[in-house]
Amino acid sequence: MTKTRASHFINLGPANRIIAIDTLSKTVTCEPSVTMEELVDALLPYNLVPAVVPEFKWLTVGGILAGAGLESSSFRYGQFGDLLIEATYILSNGQIIICSPTKNSDLFYRALGACGTFGLLIRATLNVLEVKSDCFVRCNYFRTNQPMENLTSLLQHDYVDAIVFSDYTVIITGERIDKLKLPKTAKIQTFSKAWNPWYYQHIKAVHSKSNLTMITEYVPLKDYLFRYDRGAFWMGRYIINPLQDKVQCYPRYIRNLLNLFPFGGYNILSRTLLAPIITTFSLYKRLHASPMSTIAETLFFQDIYIPKSKAKEFLTFLQSGTFFMEDGGILEPIWLCPIRSTLTSQKLSPHFWKNDRNDDQSFIDFGLWTHQSNWQIGSCSVRHATKALEEEAMRLGGRKMLYAHSYYSRDQWFSIYDVEWYKAMKRKWDPDYAWGDLYDKLISY
């Protein structure tokens, strides 16, 4: 059976004005198409920054509020949506509604994560944080073989995330530090220049060159916030080194040989000359220009929030070999980002905490982005892997960020999300389903 689905595209125009910055109340009001980089650039001159800055420069305020967004400060502040204090929506009948925690609060909380299915966001006011615009982040790179135990005991910092490599994990903690307080011997590292290393490659390199379990360096704040932008975490490697998957099973010295060739792998020449096409913005343009079937069948992109108490079990599942059975390979690298749950009624957000659970109320986001050489169009391997992941995450009480392919059956969907509540909200705010239904919008067939 072929299923079809109507799509409606709305051109928001530029809609990228910063409307107001209030240094006294520490808030910013802006239009929905303002990107994370534009927001940070507008706020830093006032010594302000959003407490959570999802790490790709071009992600927009509207897209993140309607979808989801987190960062290494999320263990303290939650999602980007938790910074919201007022939002303005256009309903499908043309009515303009202003909402906040005290005014139309059901729409305020529940439009977060609803992917635009209640209304079109046209304006948002967000809380921001006071920082020194020229400050640095002192990054400690801590190598461990016990990521979960360590990750959850390091939460006194400003930033915490981790990268799981095949043979060890590096936990990264960060503290904002005044420029004037930088130690004289401080090692300064940047990530924004074309010739700079990609962040995950850098982390790997500093640890492979040293026997120390902890290495410290200092990164300018904006470089830190967008450290994963160049190379899009590690997705850029499939462009810079298309052979990467195929040589994974060869010994390390053979893999390293590839890096000696100017365009044969990741090196200063290739990443400098190919810089314009390996920004996240450029990689996404290529992604969106690809046929949906190619994306669905060759790329595995998922972010999945697992309750902290179950995170170790989930990591074991990912690394067990039962997940990627076809070539016996394991998923590597994996991004881990701890995130505080929300107790507000953001029923569609991945960090929504159902009241019936009373264990530790936080999650670990698992960022899983890969492409395996044996995944061919028509093989359904990615679909099988995604379904296996969805089932395991459901079993452990986890939720996905809903930006990627999902294959939940209606029964599974009903067990994760409160569908009766969703229908009641639709009756109130979009009775004709002009903005579509969330399940129909997101589920792949």
Ligand X SMILES: Cc1cc2nc3c(=O)[nH]c(=O)nc-3n(C[C@H](O)[C@H](O)[C@H](O)COP(=O)(O)OP(=O)(O)OC[C@H]3O[C@@H](n4cnc5c(N)ncnc54)[C@H](O)[C@@H]3O)c2cc1C
* Smallest gap from residue 161 Cβ to ligand X (A): 9
Residues 313-332 that bind ligand X (CB under 6 A): none
CA gap 57, 192 in Å, rounded: 11
> Residue 137: what residue type?
V
CB contact burial 242-256 (16+ within 10 A = b; e otherwise):
eebbeeeeeeeeebe
For ligand X, give the closer residue by CB, 54 or 197: 54
- Residues in 339-378 that interact with ligand X by CB under 6 A: 367, 369
Residues 6+ apart with CB under 8 A from 4: none
- The neighbouring-strand residues paired with 319 are none
Compute the C-alpha angle 357/359/365, nearest 5°: 90
Member of 32, 50, 236, 265 binding ligand X (CB under 6 A): 32
**To the nearest whole angstrom, how small is the minimum distance from the Cβ of residue 293 to ligand X?**
17
- Distance between CA atoms of residues 237 and 243, nearest Å: 9
Of 401, 425, 438, 443, the one binding ligand X by CB under 6 A: 401
Site for ligand X, residues 106 to 125, rule: CB under 6 A: 115-116, 120-121
Q: 168, 323, 403, 407: which one contacts ligand X (CB under 6 A)?
A: 403
Q: Minimum distance between the CB of residue 71 and ligand X, rounded to whole angstroms?
A: 6
| Interface characters, 206-235, with ligand X (x: CB under 6 A) | ------------------------------
Identify which of residues 233 and 317 has a Cβ nearer to ligand X in the complex: 233
Q: Which residue's CB is nearer to ligand X, number 64 or number 331?
A: 64
Residue 11 or 156: which CB sits closer to ligand X?
11
Using Cβ positions, the residue closest to ligand X within the complex turns out to be 63
Shortest distance in whole angstroms from residue 257 CB to ligand X: 29
Find the shortest distance in angstroms from Cβ 323 to ligand X: 18
Contacts of 345 (CB under 8 A, 6+ apart): 105, 106, 109, 110
* Rounded CA separation 223/198 (Å): 11
- Shortest Cβ 304–ligand X spacing (Å): 11
What x/- string results for residues 37 through 76 when contact with ligand X is judged by CB under 6 A? -----------------xx---xx-xxx-xxxxx------
Pick 177 or 314: Cβ nearer ligand X: 314
CA pair distance 338, 192, nearest whole angstrom: 25
Half-sphere exposure of 222 (CA within 13 A, CB side): 17
**CA separation for the pair 98, 429 (Å, rounded):** 13
Number of residues located near ligand X, criterion CB under 6 A: 23
Nearest approach, Cβ of 296 to ligand X (angstroms)? Answer: 13
CB 365 within 8 A of CB 73: no
Q: How far apart are CA 335 and CA 164, in angstroms?
A: 6
* Closer Cβ to ligand X, 43 or 299, answer by number: 299
Angle, nearest 10°, between helix axes 381-395 and 311-319? 160
Query: Pseudo-torsion of CA 386, 392, 397, 399, nearest 10°?
Result: -10
By the criterion CB under 6 A, which residues form the site for ligand X? 32, 54-55, 59-60, 62-64, 66-70, 115-116, 120-121, 301, 303, 367, 369, 401, 403
